[in-house]
A = this chain, B = another copy of it.
């Protein structure tokens, strides 16, 4: 999905005064959002996030947008606008700043505070420009106007980008909670004003375009949490996203009301809530918080633990509690609340956690059995409002997989955007806005960039293919030592296997076949190491396939001495 359309070539040079838009991530996937705008040789970037790997990308920690397209032009970047501080929008910032550390980072107060606290860990001191909704800022040829949007993290922004080519509205991630916890509404009046001015291109969040209707208010969770506190006479453990300030606030409020102390657990939870509290986004009553290390010294009915691990992450506290591998021992009557979404791909891991906790006697409450989570993304009903208020000339669904972008495109068509003015693009596809009309003009290479340990980009698709084979089938290595003058076998064959599930004893069966193959090779005058390797691989491969109907990776090593 991340590869360009097979029939698209490289784009032509950009005409003066035309606007070019290339997503380096976020189209065809949910994650690694990053869009590059270009006019008259200058660049503006919106967001720079990470994507989390799928099971067929084993061992990968993170996936970055592919910076190749802009790598040689980083000096042309006027600014990096961050719409909000979720990982899929800011996670790749440290990696981009490694390549040019003084790119001005533009964002709201909380967004900047969270990215700065993250960059401290990478020992990077960024150049920042703090903005507030309602303001306009010019970055080279890009005049940006910021609008408040409501999302599952405070202080999120949409950005309207005015250039000589026209006005583009990028919504960022948003929903339209009409009774938001912080009173900060999505600025529909602003959207309407832009609509009246004339939106040449709308780029809008597609995540929930398939979901009919409207997202419930965050406030509607409060009575459910209250009920849970009422009916709990043992420990309460709440797992949620480490950036969901309002969700944590609701738990703090309930704890205060029910006379329980609160401990936070998980590095990112402690860090983010510290920032949010310091800046006044999180209200923490005096005396409410206790140290999580002291949690066992409090009676179970007097405490609430708020932790990470709601996605079943195996190293998080919650998974370890489920496996009885954590100081907090789940006991009969404890209540565990998974107050979060279930990110696609994590179903199996979360199910394991729920079963583990249940086994030890906990009551587990999750979005499947109670309204303890509402989505952060506008559903179809809300998306229609935005389309109708902004009345865009052109529409580009963003932030979604194919299914979401197609569904969003259909909504746009229903509100009257002509089909030929709706563009569905993938990562790397080049969309130009010229004379008030968008069109696809080409595609640039845009692959996955894998982070594994400290290395970025070293792990390639080839390595992943090897990992998949090794992970499914294991390997058999066969070492033979050959006398380089006579071509004779002087050591080995020595056979090692791991993960193959084949009893090492049976390798004796194949050794004569390897020896025979090498003897024949010597008789035929074959002295080439490559050819000998092939012969060994073939002999072992045939044997294992015939005997076990399996295909482990076979590694023939020929050492000449």
From the candidates B55, B58, B359, B459, name the one contacting A402 in the complex (CB within 8 A): B359
A557 at the interface (CB under 8 A from B): yes
> Which of A345, A464, A470, A500 has the most CB atoms of chain B within a 10 A radius of its CB?
A470
Distance in angstroms between the alpha carbons of A503 and B458 in the assembled complex: 7
Residues 455-480 of A contacting B (Cβ, < 8 Å): 455, 458-460, 463-464, 466-475, 477, 479
Q: How far is the CB of A380 from chain B (nearest CB, A)?
A: 11
Assuming the A-B contacts A470-B467, A494-B557, are A351 and B401 also in contact, with contact meaning beta carbons closer than 8 angstroms in the complex?
yes
Q: How far is the CB of A212 from chain B (nearest CB, A)?
A: 9
Interface string of A329-357 (1 = CB under 8 A from B): 00000000000000011011001001110
From the candidates B344, B345, B455, B499, name the one contacting A466 in the complex (CB within 8 A): B499
From the candidates B54, B359, B472, B490, name the one contacting A467 in the complex (CB within 8 A): B472
Query: Which B residues lie within 8 Å of A356 (CB)?
Result: 402
Q: How far is the CB of A418 from chain B (nearest CB, A)?
A: 17
A492 at the interface (CB under 8 A from B): yes
Assuming the A-B contacts A401-B351, A471-B58, are A479 and B557 also in contact, with contact meaning beta carbons closer than 8 angstroms in the complex?
yes
Query: Which B residues lie within 8 Å of A180 (CB)?
Result: none
A454 at the interface (CB under 8 A from B): yes
Is there contact, CB below 8 Å, between A54 and B348? yes
Question: Mostly helix, strand, loop or mixed at chain A's interface?
Answer: mixed
Assuming the A-B contacts A481-B481, A557-B496, are A473 and B348 also in contact, with contact meaning beta carbons closer than 8 angstroms in the complex?
no
From the candidates B210, B450, B464, B559, name the one contacting A494 in the complex (CB within 8 A): B559
Is there contact, CB below 8 Å, between A561 and B498? no
From the candidates B359, B369, B450, B470, name the one contacting A475 in the complex (CB within 8 A): B470
Query: Which B residues lie within 8 Å of A477 (CB)?
Result: 477, 496, 555, 557
Is there contact, CB below 8 Å, between A498 and B553? yes
A406 at the interface (CB under 8 A from B): yes
Residues of A within 8 A of B (CB-CB), count? 67
Residues 362-386 of A contacting B (Cβ, < 8 Å): 364, 368-369
Distance in angstroms between the alpha carbons of A454 and B501 in the assembled complex: 11
Distance in angstroms between the alpha carbons of A490 and B498 in the assembled complex: 26
Distance in angstroms between the alpha carbons of A207 and B556 in the assembled complex: 48
Is there contact, CB below 8 Å, between B470 and A474? yes
From the candidates B359, B454, B463, B499, name the one contacting A1 in the complex (CB within 8 A): B359
Is there contact, CB below 8 Å, between B481 and A491? yes
A98 at the interface (CB under 8 A from B): no
Is there contact, CB below 8 Å, between A549 and B354? no
Q: How far is the CB of A377 from chain B (nearest CB, A)?
A: 16
Is there contact, CB below 8 Å, between B492 and A559? yes
A358 at the interface (CB under 8 A from B): yes
A453 at the interface (CB under 8 A from B): yes
Query: Which B residues lie within 8 Å of A455 (CB)?
Result: 501-502, 548, 550
Is there contact, CB below 8 Å, between A481 and B559? yes
Q: How far is the CB of A404 from chain B (nearest CB, A)?
A: 9
From the candidates B210, B345, B458, B555, name the one contacting A498 in the complex (CB within 8 A): B555
A538 at the interface (CB under 8 A from B): no
Assuming the A-B contacts A348-B55, A481-B481, A498-B466, are A550 and B471 also in contact, with contact meaning beta carbons closer than 8 angstroms in the complex?
no
Interface string of A482-496 (1 = CB under 8 A from B): 000000001110101
Interface string of A390-429 (1 = CB under 8 A from B): 0000000000011100100000000000000000000000
Q: What would be 21 A-B contacts, judged by CB atoms less than 8 Å apart?
A: A1-B355, A1-B359, A54-B348, A55-B348, A345-B347, A452-B550, A453-B548, A455-B501, A463-B498, A467-B499, A477-B477, A477-B557, A479-B479, A491-B491, A492-B559, A494-B557, A494-B559, A496-B557, A498-B553, A557-B557, A561-B561
